[in-house]
Chains A and B, each alone.
Chain A
Amino acid sequence: MDRRDFIKTCGTVAVASMLDASIFSNLLASQQDGMLKTYKKALLVKEDGSPIKEGDIKPHNNYIFFYPFASTPCYLLNLDQEIKPVEIKLKDGLGYLWPGGVGSKKSIVAYSAICAHQWSYPTKDYSFINYYPPDKPSETTKKAGIIQCCAHLGVYDPKEGAKVLDGPPEVPLASIVLQEENGQFYAVGVLGKDQFDQFFDNYKADLRQQYGSTAKAKELVEKCIVMEVDKYVKSVIRC
């Protein structure tokens, strides 16, 4: 085992030790498919720097944070109901067990906010990919309780590991593995087919402009500031 694999395995064990034993074994299995990648354990904090608590994550609000890299956006959602583990099967035959929600109600989930179709993501100017709460369905697809990208109408189900419900995406959104520890929340890894390579490849110029260099955009984070999408993005485009 080389150093990288060793660290990866340790990371996996660290994640898994916080989870149910059956989920642990399944997560390990999913790692064999290359579906689980562990990164630095990062504390989710509020804008004032204090750790975010369950009560701060209001049901059906769309929150954004950046993980595992300084520039890769994720959505944090409290779906206000127990979100159970789901087995995700991909079209290429691979699959993984998505572990469901965390928190006292197991209602809190997080996903990469980079669309798995053609990599639209929330910028400070626009977000085309957004969460539609149950009381505010999409005008176009009429669906609610979903994450939808308005560019090509990819629709994902956050209750089911961001499975594709409709539209052209071939794979679910990658999910962010969350861990709760003494009432604090940590992001510890990414599960599923992440789109980070394509993201960094396609947005080189944009990322250089925003972060100063590609290297800075790719820095691993140790803390994730969580804020409401409406605060981060000037124009939230819903459809």
Chain B
Amino acid sequence: MVVVGGGYGGVTVAKYLKKENPNLDVVLIEERPFFMSCPMSNHFLAGLMELTPLCFSYNVLEVKHGIRVLNDKVLGVELDKKVVRTSSGYISYDYLVLSPGIDYDVEDYPFYRDSLVYNPPAFRPGSEHIYLKKLIEDFEGGDIVITVPSPPYRCPPAPYERAALLASMIKRNKIKAHIYFIDANERPLINSEGFLSAYHDLYKDVATYITSAHVRDIDVHKKLVKTSHGDFKYDLANIIPPMRANKLLQDAGLLKKGQKWVEVNPFTFETSVKNVFVIGDASQSYLPKSGYAAHSEGKLVAKIINARLKGKEVKEEYMQMICYAMVSDKEAIMTETAFRYDAVSKRFIPTHREDNQRKEGTAKRYEEWARGLWRDLFG
């Protein structure tokens, strides 16, 4: 078993493969030396949480669960030869689970390229968050621009939460600043009512929410964002670019021309290549792109592979999603989404149960939600 990518999906599938079948030889390949959680990272950016609780050592997986963790860069996947090419050699596999996450789509939107360095999006875990946090801490006042791309992108509520938490931080620290929150969408993609009422009730004096506005260009030297709704100068910016599946998947031949996400069987997450699975944000499925979804997919795929090894099939499972988002330092809102499959339209139909009333109790649940996931991944 080879698993590529040590995020929520990759760690989960590796752990559950081994948990259900300790005799399996499971190799997890991850370039980063340690795991950092994107869920809850807005807490870190807004000064509500240290970085440490978000970070975990992959060593735990090796010591406690017997997973071989290879801290290495994957250079390519040769599906015909069933090998993964890394900087230290080839690894062959019988089953392959790819969970490499996203890339920023600078091929189709090249004007974002420079901005990635100057204005870290902080939608990939690690140094981007640390640098953005430094920029936020160094910010002494002026204009802040935050932009949101059209979906699909990683973690739909995250930009809206980030805008609310930065607005909250400005008020808390009495910084003379104004946020221009520029959204390519007509409204927040999830918990719209909860976010909009928070923006109106809590932040209308420090933030302006501009909808259906698309970024056209970014001049990092003049600190200017050009949009379909005019130009915005900034002193601090968090420009979130459009996203696509990690380029590794394109190089492996799993993306057809023009595709940005890998097509998978929605019930199994298997690609068109037998025993090769793509989970997490890189796949195109009925689930939103999030750590929680990747974790659920990881569990399912581990179950499917272990069943196949025993010559069995797994009963179809529809996953459920739970998303939380802070709207102030202490309060959060949430959504639970259940899915059913409509055999006629061959589509998954979501049913959202949103709790848009901001509450401190929901913020506590949010923290416990994340801690539960971390316990499951690294406990």
Which residue in B320, B336, B368 is a CB contact (below 8 Å) of A128?
A: B368
Please give me the residue from chain B that is nearest to A151 by CB atom: B368
Q: Which of B114-122, B236-244, B358-366 contacts A (4 or more CB under 8 A)?
A: B358-366
Q: Is A202 an interface residue (CB 8 A)?
A: yes
B251 to chain A, nearest CB (A): 34
Give Cα A239–Cα B361 distance, bound, in whole angstroms: 8
Chain A residue numbers with a CB within 8 Å of B296 are 168
Contacting chain B: which of A11-19, A113-121, A180-188?
A: A113-121
Name the one of A141, A198, A235 contacting B379, with C-beta atoms under 8 angstroms: A198
Contact A237 B379 (CB under 8 A): no
Min distance, Cβ A76 to any Cβ of chain B, angstroms: 23
B209 at the interface (CB under 8 A from A): no
User: By the criterion CB–CB under 8 Å, are A128 and B375 in contact?
Assistant: no
Tell me which residues across on chain A come within 8 A of B362, comparing CB atoms: 239
In the bound assembly, the distance between CA atoms of A237 and B372 in angstroms comes to 16
Interface of A is mostly: loop
Which of B353, B361, B369, B372 lies in contact with A119, CB distance below 8 A?
A: B372
Q: How far is B379's CA from A119's CA once the two chains are assembled, in angstroms?
A: 11
Residues of A within 8 Å of B336, CB to CB, are 140, 153
Question: Does B196 lie at the interface of the complex (its beta carbon under 8 Å from any beta carbon of A)?
Answer: no
Docked complex Cα distance between A238 and B365 (Å):
9
Tell me if B353 and A151 are in contact (CB < 8 A): no
Q: Does A201 contact B (CB under 8 A)?
A: yes
B322 within 8 Å of A (CB atoms): yes
Contact yes or no, B353 A140, CB < 8 A: yes
Count, chain B residues at interface, CB 8 A: 17
Cα(A128)–Cα(B361), bound, Å: 9
Shortest CB distance A166–B (Å): 8
In the assembled complex, how far is the CB of residue B362 from the closest CB belonging to chain A, in whole angstroms? 7
A-B CB contact pairs (8 Å), 22 listed: A117-B372, A118-B375, A120-B368, A126-B364, A128-B365, A128-B368, A140-B353, A140-B355, A150-B365, A152-B322, A153-B320, A167-B320, A168-B320, A201-B379, A202-B375, A202-B379, A235-B364, A237-B361, A237-B365, A239-B355, A239-B362, A239-B365
Residues in B neighbouring A202, C-beta threshold 8 A: 375, 379
The distance from the CB of A135 to the nearest CB of chain B, in whole angstroms, is 20
CB of B205 within 8 A of chain A? no
Smallest distance from the beta carbon of B234 to chain A beta carbons, Å?
37
Chain A, Cβ-Cβ closest to B379: A202
Q: Report the separation of the CA atoms of residues A88 and B368 in the bound assembly, to the nearest whole angstrom.
A: 29
Residue B55 lies at the interface, judged by CB distance under 8 Å to chain A? no
Q: Does B248 contact A (CB under 8 A)?
A: no
Q: Does A20 lie at the interface of the complex (its beta carbon under 8 Å from any beta carbon of B)?
A: no
Is B31 in contact with chain A by the CB < 8 A criterion? no
Interface residues contributed by chain A, number (CB under 8 Å)? 23
Q: Say how far B4's CB is from chain A's closest CB, in angstroms.
A: 25
What 0/1 readout, one digit per residue, does chain B (320-343) give for beta carbons within 8 Å of chain A?
A: 101000000000000010000000
> Bound state CA distance, A66 and B129, in angstroms?
42
Binding site for A on B (CB under 8 A): 296, 320, 322, 336, 353, 355, 361-362, 364-365, 368-369, 372-373, 375-376, 379
Nearest-neighbor residue (CB-CB) of A142 within chain B: B353
A139 within 8 Å of B (CB atoms): yes
CB proximity of B332 to chain A, nearest CB, Å? 11
> Which residues in B have their C-beta under 8 angstroms from that of A198?
375, 379
By a CB distance below 8 angstroms, the chain B residues around A117 are: 372
Residue in chain B with minimal CB distance to A125: B364
Q: Would you call B369 and A151 a contact (CB within 8 A)?
A: yes
Q: Chain A: which residue is nearest B378 at the CB level?
A: A202
Report the Cα distance A148→B355, complex, angstroms.
Answer: 16
- Chain A residues with CB under 8 A of B379: 119, 198, 201-202
Instruction: Name the 3 nearest CB pairs between A and B, nearest first.
Output: A118-B372, A151-B368, A202-B379
Beta-carbon contacts of A165-195 to B below 8 Å, as 1s and 0s? 0011000000000000000000000000000
Give CA–CA (A115, B375) in the complex, Å.
Answer: 12
Q: How far, in Å, is B310 (CB) from chain A's closest CB? A: 12
Within 8 A of B (CB), among A180-239: 198, 201-202, 235, 237-239
Within 8 Å CB of B368, what residues of A? 120, 126, 128, 150-151
Q: How far is the CA of A119 from the CA of B373 in the complex (A)?
A: 10
Contact across chains for A119 and B320 when beta carbons are under 8 A apart: no
Residues of B within 8 A of A153 (CB): 320, 322, 336
User: In whole Å, how far is B65's beta carbon from the nearest beta carbon of chain A?
Assistant: 12
Out of B322, B361, B372, name the residue touching A120 (CB < 8 Å): B372
B39 to chain A, nearest CB (A): 13
Residues of A within 8 A of B322 (CB): 152-153
Return chain B residues, CB-CB under 8 Å to A119.
372, 375, 379
Q: Mark A146-172, 1 if CB is under 8 A from B, else 0.
A: 000011110000000000000110000
- A118 contacts B361, CB within 8 Å? no
Chain A residue at minimal CB-CB distance from B377: A118
